[in-house]
Amino acid sequence: MPELKPELQLLRLDHAPALLAFEQENRAYFAASIPDRGDDYFADFDARHDALLAEQAAGLHFFHVLVGSDGEVLGRVNLIDVADGSAELGYRIAEKAARQGLATTAVRQTCLLAAAQYGLSALRAVTTLDNPGSRAVLARTGFVPVGEIMLDGRPGTRYTRDLSATS
């Protein structure tokens, strides 16, 4: 029987245990390319999760998890700082699920949701120059570079994506 493709789901309270496991299992992997969340993130995870859900309910952010058929979280795709028809996109995929096209698929789905369900007209994203996988995902999903930045002391690029043609 073929394995089902992971499903992109809006973050819920019952995702907390699987999301915490995802973050713990992939902490070192993520820290190699993006800033580490720090020990407080893990120590205060339940309170942080509740706060994220409250911010999501207020329409400030939209948090998504990529959930496998067994309920395991394989990735996250978030839209943060929603305002004036735009938001910032951020994503991370578990090390064991990387390089399988999941980030590209999840970002494409999130762009569709951003336009159709959340009423957004543009997205922003950033990545460091030493993260070729992330740069490739952004290019494949219609983001265009708009400037150079420094991200935690590392050179990077800022991207935008116009959602007006998204259907």
The per-residue pLDDT for range 63-117, each reduced to its tens digit, is 999 999 899 999 999 999 999 999 999 999 999 999 999 999 999 999 999 999 9
Which residues are within 8 A (CB) of 86 and not within 5 positions of it... i.e. 6 or more apart?
A: 120, 121, 122, 123, 124
pTM of the predicted protein model = 0.91
Q: How far apart are CA 41 and CA 158, in angstroms?
A: 26
SS3 160: strand
Pick the residue with more confidence: 22 or 3? Answer: 22
DSSP secondary structure letters along 68-87: -TTS-EEEEEEEEEEETTEE
pLDDT value at position 150? 93
pLDDT tier at 32, thresholds 50, 70, 90: confident
- Crossing angle of helices 132-140 and 102-116, in 10° steps, is 50
At 1 the pLDDT is: 36
Q: What is the pLDDT of residue 56?
A: 97
Q: Which residues contact 99 (CB under 8 A, 6 or more apart)?
A: 133
Query: Residues 90, 151: contact at Cβ < 8 Å?
Result: no
Beta strands in the chain (DSSP E): 7-10, 62-67, 73-83, 86-93, 122-128, 144-151, 154-162
Q: What is the pLDDT of residue 33?
A: 79
Give the percent of the chain with pLDDT over 90. Answer: 82
pLDDT in tens, 145-154: 999 999 888 8
* Closest CA relative to residue 142, chosen from 164, 120, 117, 160: 160
pLDDT at 2: 43
Residue 39 belongs to what H/E stretch? helix 39-43
Distance (Å, whole) CA 23 – CA 92: 10
Average pLDDT of the chain is: 93
- Which CATH superfamily, name and number, covers 7-162? Gcn5-related N-acetyltransferase (GNAT) (3.40.630.30)
Domain ranges for the chain:
7-162
